[in-house]
Structure formats: C-alpha cells, structure tokens
Amino acid sequence: MNIFSSYSIKRKLAAIITITTALALLIAIGVFLAHDIYTLRSVLKNDLETHAKIVRDNISTAILFNDYDSGNEIVSSLAHDSSIVAAEVLLTDGNNFVHYHNNEYDEKYIVDIHRDHISLDLINVRVPVVYNDKTIGTVLVSASKHEITERFIYFFIISLIVMVISLGIAVILSGRMQRLIYVPIHHLADIAKKVSEEKDYKIRAKIYDDDELGELTEDFNEMLEHIQERDENLESLVEERTAEVKLRNEELNTEISERVRTQERLEDSEVRFRSAFYSAAIGMALVKKDHSISQVNQSLCNMLGYKQEELVGTLFKELTFLDDVSLSVDQHFKLVQGKLSHYQLEKRYIHKSGKIIWGLLNVSSVRDINNDFLYAIAQVQDITEAHNLSDELSYQASHDALTELVNRREFERRLARVLDHVEEERSEHAILYIDLDQFKIVNDTCGHTAGDELLHQIANIMEDKIRQRDTLARIGGDEFGVLMEHCNIKQAMRVANVIREAVEEFRFAWGDQAFSIGASIGVSPINMSINNITEILKQADAACYAAKESGRNRVHLYHEKDTSFAKRYGDMQWVTRINSALEQHRFHLYAQPIMNIESSETTHYELLLRMEDEAGAIIPPGAFLPAAERYNLISKLDRWVLNSAFHWLKDISVTDEPISFCSINLSGQNLGDDQFRAYVINKLKETKIDTSKVCFEITETAAIANLNNAMEFIITLKGMGCLFALDDFGSGVSSFAYLKNLPVDFLKIDGMFVKDIVDDPIDFAMVKSINEISHVMGKKTIAEFVEDDAILEKLRSIGVDYAQGYGIGMPAPLEFISSFNVKKVI
Amino acid sequence: MKQINRKLFALLLGTVFTFSVCANEQDALDRQGKFMAVYLLHFSNFVEWPESSFNEKNNFNICINGITEINKHINDIEGDDVKGRKIKIIKNITNEEAKNCQILFISRIDYDSKNIKQILLDGNTLLVSDMEGFISDGGMIEYFVRDNKLRVAINIGSAKKNGLKISSKLLRIAKIVGADK
C-alpha cells in the first residue's frame, strides 16, 4: 500500500478499480474453467462406463462357452467411439480373454491399461462380469483425455481475450466517473488554501453534490461562518468587559459599607446571646471541637457542683458517667464532622460530690460560611428526679415489694422470652415451683408480720442457692418460682435439692419461738414440646403438688401422670371430697390401744381418723389432712371427731367397757380458735360425759408455735377435768424449757427413738432421760412405736408408764374395742 | 537301500514320460468331456422350461445316456443349485423315463435316431448330443468341434416345439439352425 501513498487521488482510484476488476475476472475465469474441466471429465467417464457395461452385459456367455470369436466381436464394437484407446476382458485367473486396440493411438497405451496406473493422458474404467452371483471376468476400457485438453486450451484463450477487453472498458469508464469524486475535493482544497493564505473568512466553497463530500463542504462553510462571527464578537466583548469592570467597582464600594453595618449588628446580637447564655435557667455550655468546654453558664455549674473556672477547659467526658462516655463522645464527633446538625441525648453526669445526675442534653453545632465547625452549643436539663421516679416505677411493676424478688408478672415475661427462643436455640431450660410447707402455721400462729419476715428470709436463703443467671420469683403467697435458663434436668434437680436442704436446715425464730420450715419443690423441664407458659407453670405446679402429696419437704420431677393426678386429687378436689365424705358419713374413728406397762392393762385408747373413699377404700390421714389444713377444713374435721368421740364415750359408759380414758388429736390450728374452744366446752356439757375420760393430744410443734393460745386452751379444759398429752415429743424443736410451762399430763415419746431402743444406746439414753425428766415434772410417759416384746421389756426396765404400737395393738374400728381386751385378758 | 531308491526313482520317471506322450490325445478328449459337462450346467441358466415339466421332488434332472467322456466329470456338478433346484444326475434311462429329465445327453456312441424321435413326442426335455447331424434329427443342441474348440449348434424350431425358450445370450454364441421352421 505504501507505493500508492504518494499518488494523487485520481491515480489511486484508477489503480483500485483496475486491480479489483482484474482480480474479479481472474477468479471468475478460474472457477468457470475448473468447473468445465470437471464436467467434461465426468461426462467422459460416464460414457466410458456405459460402454464398459454394454460389453460386460454381452460378454458373459462368450466367456462361459469359451467363444473368443463372439468375444472379439463384442469388444470390437467399441471402435465407433474414437476416444477409446483400448479395451480388454480379463478372466478371473488374470488371463486375457479378448482385447481391442484403436489403431489411431500408440501401442504403449495398452501397457498402461494392464498396469492399471493413473495416467495423465488416459481415463480407465473397470467393470466386473458377473454370472450367477460369481465374478467370471473384468472389462477394462481406456479412453484418451485428448479432447479435454483441447477444449481447455480453447476456453483459456477465449477467457484471456474477454478479460483484456473488460479491463479496457473498466479503465475508460472509471476515468470518467472518478471526476465525480475528485473534482469537489480539489475545489475544497483550493478554497482552504486560499482562506489560510488571505485570511479572508468571507470566501465560501461551492457544493457539487448532496453526498458526504457535499456535507463536508457545507460543514467547512459553516466553520468559516463561525470563525467570521467570532472575529466580530471578540471586538464587541472587549468593549463590554471594560464597562462591566467599572460597574463592579461601584458595587464593591457599596458592599464594604454594608459589611461595616452588619458587623455592628453582629456585635450587638452577641452581647444579647451572651447575656441570655449566662442567665439561662437551664445549664448551657459552648463546646470546642475537642469536646472541651470553652464557656459555661451558672446553671450548669450549679447542676454539676463546680465553679465556672473549674469547668472551662475540662473535657465533657470527664464529667460523664463511664457507661455513657462512648455514646456521648461518638455523637459529638459526628456533630463535628457534620454528619449531624444537632442531637439529643439522655445521659448521666457525675456531680462533684460523686452522685449521678441524669441530664437531657440538646446540642447543636455552629459553623462558619465555609461550613467549618466553630463550636457546639450544649443545653443540659437536670432530669434526675424524673428518671429515678420512672426507674422506681418499672422496678415496682416487676418486683415483689416484700421479698424484693421478681414478681409473677415479670417471671412470666421472662419465661415467655425463654420460650420464644427455645425452638431456635434448641436449648434446654428448667423451672422450679416451690411451695413452703409450714408457712401457714407461722402466719396463723404469729401473724402476718412474722409470715412476711419468714418469706423475706427464705427468699434470701434461696437466692444464695441458685445460679447467678437464674430468676427467682415470688409467684404467690408462699410460692416461689425459679427459672433456670440453659440448664438440664439433672442440674435443676441438684439445685432444687440444695434449696430444699437449705430451707430444711433453716430455723425461723420469732419472739422466743423457732420454727422449722419445709419446701416442696416441683421441677419441670422447658423444651420444644411445650409452647405456652400456662402449660409450663401448670406442669411445675403439678410436680410441686406431687411432691407435697408424697410427704412434703421433697423434690419431685414432673411426670405426665402428675397433671392428671393433680387434677383428680388436687387440693380443690380434696375440699369437695372431704365435704362429701362428711355428708355421706364416710369418716370413721379407729382406736389403737395404749397399755399400762406396769399392770399390763389396756384401758386406754387413742382415737384415729380414717376416711373411706368413694370406692370404699380406707385413706390414711396423711393424704387428706394437709389439704384440710390448707383449706380450713381442719376445724370442721376436728369438730366431727370431737362430736363422734364424745358420743361414743357416752354410749360406751352405759355398757361396762373398762375404759379409763381415750386420746383425741387436735390440730394446732384449732388451739387458738376461741369458737372451737367454745364448741368443745359446749359439747362436753351437752353429752355430759366424764371429762376425766377425755385426753386431748396436741403436737409439740403446734403447741410451741402457738404457745399462749395453747396454754389458754389447756388451762380452760383442764379446769373442766380433761387430760392433755403432748404428742411426738423429741422430734420437733423440743425443749424441756417449753415442757416446763406446758401443764400437760402425758408426754408421748416420739416413736423414732422408741423403735430402736433395743439396739441403739443413744436412743435408749434419750428415752430414759425424757422419761426421768417427765416423771420429775410429774407427767406420765407414753412410748409410741412399740413393735415387739423386746421393746416393751426395755421400756418396762426404765419405768416408762404406757406403751402404744403394733406390738400392743393395731388401730381398729371402734366396734372392736372389746376384742382388744378379750385378747389381752386371755 | 540307496540303490533301491534310485532304481525306483528311474522307473517312476520313465512311466511319467511314457504316459505324458500317450496322454496327449487322451488329454484333448478329456478336456472336451469336461467342457461338455460344464456346458450342460450352463444351458440350464439360458433355457426356460415350463413349470409343469418339473416333478414333485423338485429336482433338476440331468440325464446321461451311453458311454461318454462326460461321465468322468458330470458327477462334479451333482447337487449344484439351478434356479432354486438341486441338480440330480441320472444315467442310462429308458425312453419312457426321458420325460422326467430336464436335460438329456445322448452319447454319439449309443446313438439311435429312432429313440430320439420317440422321446421328442413326449415331454419338455432338452436333448443334447455330440452326434454329428443330431440337430437334423430333431435334437435341440449339438456339440461340434471347430478350430480345435468345442462349439454349440442350436435348433430353435425343435426347442420351441417342445416348449423350451432359449435365451438370446446363448443364441449369440451358437450356430443357429431351423430358425424359420
């Protein structure tokens, strides 16, 4: 391409057209020639194949019957085609059967056929002769390519001539047509040259055609026009600018005087701001970029307890409560950076005295015209009082005022929160439901103040035993709950037992009395299987109830059957059951004999209460008495017992049964009840029974817990001739000091000491000393749990007065009393 | 031992030489017999028999009557396949049995023109013989020798009369007699 670069456009165009045309013609001629030769070749080959096939079809019988004459005749028929050089029929063994040779051609061609090689001059065709599916020979035909060569040369010459003529025409025509392109270009180049030489921008180029060149010329003209215009504009602009400068000078003068006036006004407003700042009722300060105080007013000084000179230069964070520093500093730097234009914050400041001040902080920034931070104006309002009030309110709403533990509402809220996450965390939690066993006794005997104090102390004890993250809450009168997060059942059971033991060890002292307390604890797991708090609380409550049922002061792990059990035998159910048993006379009195050890006579009985259930089974008092105590049915039951016992005593006095006296148990709750005392006195008078045959048994715990009332009851009824026995002596908070003051006639030694008296020397010593002291005090002793004669002998040896237990006689319905005697007499 | 072997070898060489001289005449006859036998087989491909002429056994029967060189070679083609039928060679048949043959070769040695005429009366049998003048007696194909080569002459009229069609391919190489009759 480089050789063309120096040529004119005209020459370039001529060269392009000539080369392109010549190339196109050459390719076309080449393709045509190639196609022609190929076609000729295939026509020739087709012809040859046809000839060979004709020979093949006719020659088979000649071969079969070895007829050479006929064979030669058939092959010779090929002579009519002058292009065929030679033909031959070969037998399968390779021998020549017949052959033919065109005399016009050289003999050597025949050799070529035999050798079967590809010759430049010949085309060979081979066809097999088939008879009955067997090849019996081959026909070979060979033709000359002479005709093709001739034709090729002829075509080639013609093509060359056509090419030369076409090229000539193309060059002549293109010379004419090129003018259309290069004439306008020439013109444009001339004009451009002229403009640049003469600097005359008024000249315009002529537009020839409406093509790209026309457009180019048009653009060129337009460009000239622009240059011309700009030339003219430039001059007028210079004039304009001169005038403008003059005007600006005047404006500047005016502005300067304006600025002076503004300055005066600013100074004025600053004076006013200053006075407002310093005399403001709320705390104000100007804060620098580095969070230090540059100015401060008196109110803020008062609020924080510092003098102005102490505060100026101090960093604000030094006055801030540690927890709030980061937020406060963070907000300040956002303000400095311009991310905030102002902010409001409730934060804690530290007063010079050290106390915490809650402040409502309002800060806005002051910036110059370049928007650079100058200082921040901070307003601080003391909201400590409001804050403390709201803290207190929320604390009160969620806490129990008495124990300062979390209250039921808060407990349930926390439980719900745990439940919300239990599924996603797949974690395990547990809940304890704690019910105090002896709380009612304390509350009833010592009053509510004592009850409250007990709860307070118990709460402290339990709080010490739980893990730090567990929630201990008071969820009812004497009911507590513990929410143990991330805690499996094993751990929960352990904690529950620790709590139970701690409560058991604890002695609640009130005045000069001491009480032991028990805790029945229900444990229930919290897992994905339960999804509402009511259900969980219900389960824990049921477990707690089961703990109570199985004898109090123990821990029970929730089991499914607990729920149904609690439902069936729940406390409330007991109320109905006890009431209906009373109505349907299903309470019965049993009697257990007490033997006079010295005389071996059994004229003394303890009356025991039994309840018969709907199905007729006998239920021991351990099952229904706790419920009766809890729901104030105990006085009703005690009255029934008294009534029945008195009537029985009256009936039996008619017969000649040798009964010296019988013991009737009274619950501690009734000892302090004036109405009950009146009822007893009434009944005694009504039945007119021999009061000396009535002995009331009161428990040591109940008597001591309610000593004053018990004393009154005892004294009154003793005055009427009744006897009194102190039950279970030795098991509770026994003290001989109490005993001294109690005017009872009998002391029942707790069976726990008696039953092992034979083997255990300590028990023996205790029983012995209790017996001795009792005798000194003038009281008779009764040993419980006398299970065999060995025990009886031991008791006899130390001089205990009476014995009671399975070894003496089992409890039996009243009707069998005579049978005890009969048995013993015999 | 070596001497005996040499003698034996000399004897064998002498015998082979003698035979080869005598055999010249015999060889020519033998080759002709072979050609005649093969031609009989080829005829079956260029002649059409009416379908009724084949017996129920569906064999293609080639029968040979008389003493002839063909006998030496004819058994080579027994069992070959012709138009779906197996070739069976039957020798020395009576005139009555001739109608069961598709091709009947009659040796020039036992030739009797009376027999020919009798056979021609009945059936579609292609009669072939190496007897000179066989065609004039009404035979269909006659073998003859020219330029020391075995040639074939065909009587088209006789063939037509007996319901046989002969292919033009066969006719092309044969000497044709009685085309007009």
Residues A499-518 pLDDT 10s:
999 998 888 888 877 888 88
pLDDT tier at B180, thresholds 50, 70, 90: very low
- Beta carbons of A67 and B151 less than 8 Å apart: yes
Which amino acid appears at position B67 of this protein?
I
Sign of the CA dihedral running A50, A53, A58, A62: positive
Cβ atoms of A691 and A721 closer than 8 Å: yes
- What tens digit of pLDDT does each residue of A647-668 get? 888 887 766 667 778 899 988 7
pLDDT value at A826 more than 50: no
Chain A CB contacts of B42 under 8 Å are: 64-65
Q: CA A350 to CA A335: how far, in whole Å?
A: 23
Euclidean distance between CA atoms A382 and A361, whole angstroms: 9
Q: What is the mean pLDDT of residues A28-32?
A: 88
Contacts of residue A576, defined as CB under 8 A and 6 or more positions apart, other chains included, come to none
Single-letter amino acid code for the residue at B147? D
Model confidence at A804: pLDDT above 90? yes
Q: Are strands A601-612 and A618-619 parallel, antiparallel or unpaired?
A: antiparallel
Whether the CB-CB separation of B75 and B120 falls below 8 Å is answered with: no
Q: Is A94 helix (H, G, I), strand (E, B) or coil?
A: coil
Nearest Cβ partner for B42 among A58, A65, A68:
A65
Give the whole-angstrom CA distance, residue A567 versus residue A570.
Answer: 5
Query: What residue in B sits closest to A63 (Cα-Cα)?
Result: B173
- The whole-number pLDDT of residue A560 equals 76
Nearest to A744 by CA among A798, A702, A799, A785: A702
Helix, strand, or coil (residue B108): coil
| Measured distance CA(A118)–CA(A124) in Å, rounded | 8
**C-beta of residue A421 within 8 angstroms of C-beta of residue A485:** no
- Beta-carbon count within 10 A of A566 CB: 23
User: Measured between CB atoms, which of B35, B149, B173 is closest to A61?
Assistant: B173
Question: Which of B46, B173, B175, B176 should we substitute to test contact with A (largest number of A Cβ atoms within 10 Å)?
Answer: B173
- Tell me the C-alpha distance between A634 and A625, whole Å: 7
Q: B90-104: per-residue pLDDT in tens?
A: 888 888 888 888 899
What percent of chain A is predicted at pLDDT more than 70?
93
- Work out the angle between the directed axes of helices A146-198 and A9-64 (0-180°, nearest 10): 170
Distance between CA atoms of residues B150 and B171, nearest Å: 15
- Over residues A788-795, mean pLDDT: 91
Name the nearest CA neighbour of B77 among B62, B65, B91: B62
Q: How distant is the alpha carbon of residue B177 from its chain centre?
A: 19
Q: What residues pair up with A125 in beta bridges, in sequence order?
A: A141
- State the pLDDT confidence band at A823, using cuts at 50, 70 and 90: very low
Question: A274 near A350, Cβ under 8 Å?
Answer: no
Residue B181's pLDDT is what?
40
Angle at B100 between CA B97 and CA B104, to 5 degrees: 85
Which among B45, B149, B169 is the nearest to A132, CB-wise? B45
Residue A694 has pLDDT above 80, yes or no: yes
pLDDT digits (tens, 9 = 90+) for B136-170: 888 889 999 888 888 899 998 888 888 888 888 88
Residue A495 CB-half CA count within 13 A:
32
User: Which segments of A570-695 does DSSP mark as H helices, in order?
Assistant: 571-583, 621-630, 634-654, 668-671, 674-687
CA distance B111 to B133: 11
Cα separation, A287 vs A307, in Å, equals 17
Contact A746, A728 (CB under 8 A): no
Tell me the pLDDT band of A67, cut-offs 50, 70 and 90.
confident
C-alpha distance from B169 to closest chain A C-alpha (Å): 6
Of all residues in chain A, what percent carry a pLDDT higher than 90? 11
State the helix-helix crossing angle for A9-64 and A68-76, rounded to 10 degrees: 160
CA A744 to centroid of chain Cα atoms: 67
B171 Cα to chain A: minimum distance (Å): 9
Q: Is the pLDDT of residue A111 over 60?
A: no
- Helix or strand (DSSP H, E) at A108: helix A108-115
Q: State mean pLDDT over A297-323.
A: 88
Query: Of B120 and A663, which is predicted with more confidence?
Result: A663
A795-799 long-range Cβ contacts below 8 angstroms, 24+ apart = A795/A597, A795/A754, A795/A757, A795/A767, A796/A597, A796/A598, A798/A764, A798/A767, A798/A768, A798/A771, A799/A771, A799/A775
Segment among A310-319, A338-347, A705-714 with least mean pLDDT:
A705-714
A90-107 residue pLDDT tens: 888 888 888 888 877 766
| Weakest-pLDDT range from A58-62, A151-155, A821-825 | A821-825
A327 against A235, higher pLDDT: A327
Between A502 and B10, residue with greater pLDDT: A502
Interface contact flag, A61 B46, Cβ < 8 Å = yes
- What is the DSSP-derived secondary structure letter of residue A312? T
What pLDDT score does B23 carry? 56
Condensed to tens digits (0 to 9), the pLDDT of residues A740-787 reads 778 889 999 888 888 889 988 988 998 998 899 899 988 999 999 898
Question: What is the distance between the alpha carbons of residues A83 and A104, in angstroms, rounded to a whole number?
Answer: 10
A77 touches chain B (CB under 8 A): no
Nearest to A61 among B149, B150, B172 (CB): B172
- Give per-residue pLDDT as tens, A424-476: 777 788 999 999 887 877 877 787 888 889 999 999 999 888 888 889 999 88
Residue with tokens 């070979």: A140
How many CB pairs lie under 8 A apart between chains A and B?
26
Residues in a beta bridge with A348: A358
Q: How many CB atoms lie within 10 A of CB A302?
A: 11
The verdict on a CB contact (< 8 Å) between B173 and A60 is no
Contact (CB<8Å) A58/B169: yes
- CB contact at 8 A, A714 and A746: no
Contacts of B45 (CB under 8 A, 6+ apart): A131, A132, B82, B83
Q: Find out whether A747 and A729 touch, Cβ atoms under 8 Å.
A: yes
Amino acid at A809: G
Residue B96 tokens read as 């009555």
Answer yes or no: do B46 and A66 touch at CB < 8 A: no
Confirm if A327 and A345 have CB atoms less than 8 A apart: yes
Cα–Cα distance, A265 to A642 (Å, whole number): 104
Asked if A631 and A571 touch (Cβ cutoff 8 Å), the reply is: yes
Give me the helices (H) in A116-211, please.
146-198
The alpha carbon torsion through A764, A766, A730, A717 (nearest 10 deg) reads 100
- pLDDT-based confidence at residue A562 (cuts at 50, 70, 90): low
Count how many Cα atoms sit within 13 Å of the Cα of residue A458 in the half-sphere of its side chain: 33
Domain B9-177: assigned CATH number: 3.40.50
Q: What is the mean pLDDT of residues A114-124?
A: 63
Angle at A637 between CA A635 and CA A643, to 5 degrees: 100
Q: Do A62 and B173 touch (CB under 8 A)?
A: yes
Distance between CA atoms of residues A259 and A825, nearest Å: 134
3-class DSSP state for residue A330? helix
Q: Is A67 on the interface with B (CB under 8 A)?
A: yes
Sign of the Cα torsion A757, A759, A763, A769 reads positive
What lies within 8 Å, CB to CB, of A129 at 6+ separation is A56, A59, A60, A63, A89, A135, A136, A137, A138, A139
The token pair at B66 is 């008389």
Structural domains of chain A sorted by starting position, each given as residue range(s) with its CATH number in brackets:
4-166 (3.30.450.20), 280-389 (3.30.450.20), 404-569 (3.30.70.270), 576-825 (3.20.20.450)
Cβ atoms A85, A102 nearer than 8 A: yes
Q: A817 — contact with chain B (CB < 8 Å)?
A: no
Residues of B in contact with A67 (CB under 8 A): 151, 173
Residue B83 contacts residue B44 (beta carbons within 8 Å):
yes
Q: What is the DSSP letter of A531?
A: -
pLDDT reading at A566 higher than 60: no
Q: At what angle do helices A408-425 and A384-398 cross, to 10 degrees?
A: 80
Size of chain B, expressed as the number of residues it contains: 181
Using a CB-CB cut-off of 8 Å, the residues of chain B touching A132 are: 45
Q: Please check the confidence at residue A171 and state whether its pLDDT lies above 60.
A: yes
- Cβ B39–A70 below 8 Å, yes or no? no
The identity of residue B123, as a single letter, is G
How much is the pLDDT for A371?
Answer: 85
